[in-house]
């Protein structure tokens, strides 16, 4: 049976782009007789807001998107992220890094899908006592240990796994228990997600997730990276650029199921369009 999920980060209210992402995940599950789960990605202590969770769930209900099973929260799974981190450390695949974001930007000579590629400054050093460290994946070593990998996007077709393009990514963050990559990969496995749906902006991240699945012995889902709902100028929707929050539409008495039907039919508000959102 297939199982999909919508996994919002409660850093702000949902907008139309989130509605589209939730509809894709929901509808693919329903069309194929599967299940649709909701996971709240709330481990970014500086940005995550607990008060937004009821708003997000109310938005999904308002759109007519019913989910299966209890809503799960990443903040309740910190032990599993730490355990995976310890396992990767024991495999000799993580090293501590004290560099700040600004230092990384300054040191970087190459750019990957996520921005500056970390040049490995701290590789081979040991953790300084008491200083906060991030733990980075020794990508070359990890990729070598995993061997050649592939993954399947059901829209784009089979992909040769190329995590090296990211360099040594952070898996355990200084200011948060885990990086998005580690938490999402572990959770998709824990939640039995067989079809990972998300926007094309996260297509490249799946190379890292596929590698982590191989290293940690996790089941491998199929991916479905969908088009993004974009502003007329190709930029992502943002409330500050005038895209309404779903909660505002809901409170204004708009018809949620009618909005969902319009998005499904590609009848978009003036100025918005579907696109790849990259390049």
Q: Which residues bind ligand GLU (CB under 6 A)?
A: 7-9, 41, 184, 198, 202
Q: Is 121 in the site for Zn ion (CB under 5 A)?
A: yes
Residue 122 touches which of ligand GLU, Zn ion, none (CB < 5 to 8 A by kind)?
Zn ion
In whole angstroms, the minimum distance from the beta carbon of 153 to ligand GLU comes to 13
Is residue 51 within 8 A of residue 13, CB to CB? The reply is: no
CA-nearest of 34, 33, 39 to 53 is: 39
DSSP class of residue 137? E
Question: Rounded to the nearest whole angstrom, what is the least distance from the CB of residue 76 to Zn ion in the complex?
Answer: 30
Establish whether 236 is a catalytic residue.
no
Binding to Zn ion in span 68-97, by CB under 5 A: 97
Counting contacts by CB under 5 A, is residue 56 touching Zn ion?
A: no
Phi, psi of 48, rounded to the nearest 5 degrees: -75, 135
Q: How many alpha carbons lie under 13 Å from residue 95 in its C-beta half-sphere? A: 16
DSSP 43: -
How large is the angle between the packed helices 78-90 and 180-190, nearest 10 degrees? 110
CA distance 142 to 168: 10
Pairing verdict, β 157-160 and 72-73: unpaired
Number of Cβ atoms within 10 Å of the Cβ of 103? 13
Q: Binder to Zn ion among 14, 99, 182, 193 (CB under 5 A)? A: 99
248 alpha carbon, distance to own chain's centre: 25
Nearest to ligand GLU of 99, 183 (CB atom): 183
Contacted entry of ligand GLU, Zn ion, none for residue 9, CB cut-off 5 to 8 Å set by kind: ligand GLU
Beta-sheet pairing, 35-40 with 3-6? parallel
Question: How far is C-alpha 121 from the chain's CA centre?
Answer: 27
Nearer to Zn ion, 122 or 186 (CB): 122
The least CB distance from residue 180 to ligand GLU, in Å, is 7
Our finding on whether 137 is near Zn ion (CB under 5 A) is no
* Spatial distance between the Cα atoms of 8 and 14, rounded to a whole number of angstroms: 8
The entry of Zn ion, ligand GLU, none near residue 256 (CB within 5 to 8 angstroms by kind) is none
Residue closer to ligand GLU, measured from CB, 109 or 240: 240
Q: Tell me: does residue 122 bind Zn ion (CB under 5 A).
A: yes
Give the nearest distance from C-beta 96 to ligand GLU in angstroms. 26
- The closest residue (CB) to ligand GLU is 198
What is the rounded distance in angstroms from the CA atom of residue 36 to the CA atom of residue 176?
27
Interacting partner of 184 out of ligand GLU, Zn ion, none (Cβ under 5 to 8 A depending on kind): ligand GLU
97 binds, among ligand GLU, Zn ion, none (CB under 5 to 8 A by kind): Zn ion
Q: Which listed residue (89, 174, 236, 239) is catalytic?
A: 239
- Minimum distance between the CB of residue 103 and ligand GLU, rounded to whole angstroms? 26
- Other C-beta atoms within 10 Å of 82: how many? 13
Residues that bind Zn ion in the complex, under the rule CB under 5 A: 97, 99, 121-122
Task: Give me the active site residues, please.
Answer: 239
């Amino acid at each position: 049976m297939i199982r999909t999920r919508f996994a919002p980060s409660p850093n702000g209210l949902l907008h139309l782009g989130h509605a589209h992402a939730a509809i894709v995940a929901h509808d693919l599950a329903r069309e194929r007789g599967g299940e649709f789960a909701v996971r709240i990605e709330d481990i970014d202590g500086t940005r995550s807001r607990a008060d937004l969770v009821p708003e997000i769930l109310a938005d999904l209900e308002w759109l007519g998107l019913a989910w299966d099973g209890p809503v799960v929260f990443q903040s309740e799974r910190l032990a599993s992220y730490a355990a995976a981190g310890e396992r990767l450390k024991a495999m000799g695949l993580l090293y501590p890094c004290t560099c700040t974001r600004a230092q990384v930007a300054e040191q970087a000579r190459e750019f990957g899908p996520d921005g500056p590629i970390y040049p490995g400054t701290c590789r081979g050093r040991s953790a300084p006592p008491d200083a906060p460290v991030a733990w980075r994946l020794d990508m070359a070593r990890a990729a070598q240990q995993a061997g050649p990998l592939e993954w399947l996007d059901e829209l784009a077709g089979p992909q040769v796994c190329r995590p090296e393009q990211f360099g040594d990514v952070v898996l355990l963050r200084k200011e948060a228990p885990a990086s998005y990559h580690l938490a999402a990969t572990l959770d998709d496995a824990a939640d039995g997600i067989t079809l990972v749906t998300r926007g094309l902006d996260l297509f490249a991240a799946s190379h890292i997730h596929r590698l982590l699945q191989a290293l940690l012995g996790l089941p491998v889902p199929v991916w479905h990276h969908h088009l993004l709902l974009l502003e007329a100028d190709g930029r992502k929707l943002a409330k500050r650029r005038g895209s309404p929050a779903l909660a505002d539409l809901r409170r204004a008495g708009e018809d949620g199921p009618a909005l969902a039907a319009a998005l499904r039919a590609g009848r978009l508000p003036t100025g918005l369009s579907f696109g790849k959102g990259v390049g």
